[in-house]
Amino acid sequence: MCEYAVKLTSTFAKCMKKHGNRKKAVERVLRDLRRDPYGLHDSHPLEDREGQANLLGKRACHLFNTQFVLVFIVCEECVNQGHYAEGRNRCSDRDDCKGQPLKRLLVIAFEVHSKAYSNTWGF
C-alpha cells in the first residue's frame, strides 16, 4: 500500500503551538493515517449538522482517549466525492491539488472536540 503524503496547514501549525504538549501523540496519529486515513484511529467523515459548523468534505479522528480531534481532508476522497468540484474545501483557492485525486492528507486543525466541530476551519 502506498503511503499518503501529508501537507500541514498554517492553521494546524497554530493549533500545535497552542497544544504543543500533545505533539508526540499527534505525530504518532499522523504516521498511522499516512498508511490508512480511512480505517485507523476511528477516522470518520464529517457532516453538515444542525447547530454545528458545516464540515462536510473533511474527516476527523480522535486522539487516543482524549477530547482532542484531528481535522483533515483526504484529497482523493474530496475529489472523488465531488467536494472539490463544489468548492466545498476551497482547495482551488490555493495551489493544493488542482482537482487531481492525490494520495495526500491536508491536515487542517488539532483542537478540543467542542472547538473542532464548531469551526469551519478556513485555512
**Interstrand relation of 5-8 and 44-45 (parallel, antiparallel or unpaired):** unpaired
User: What contacts 19, CB < 8 A, 6 or more positions away?
Assistant: 68, 110, 111
In a domain, 121, yes or no: no
Say which CATH number the domain at 86 has.
3.30.2310.20
Residues in the chain predicted with pLDDT less than 50, given as ranges, are none
In a domain, 122, yes or no: no
pLDDT recorded at residue 60: 94
Residue range 81-101, pLDDT digits in tens: 998 888 887 776 666 677 888
Residue keyed to cell 457532516: 47
Cβ–Cβ < 8 Å for 29, 63: yes
Neighbours of 22 (CB within 10 A): 18
pLDDT recorded at residue 77: 93
Q: What residues make up the domain containing 15?
A: 5-116
pLDDT recorded at residue 123: 61
Total number of domains constituting the chain: 1
Alpha-carbon distance 111 to 6, whole Å? Answer: 18
In a domain, 45, yes or no: yes
In a domain, 41, yes or no: yes
In a domain, 34, yes or no: yes
In a domain, 50, yes or no: yes
In a domain, 123, yes or no: no
What pTM does this model have? Answer: 0.89
Residue range 56-68, pLDDT digits in tens: 889 999 887 788 9
In a domain, 9, yes or no: yes
Short-list 48, 45, 52, 50, CA closest to 118: 52
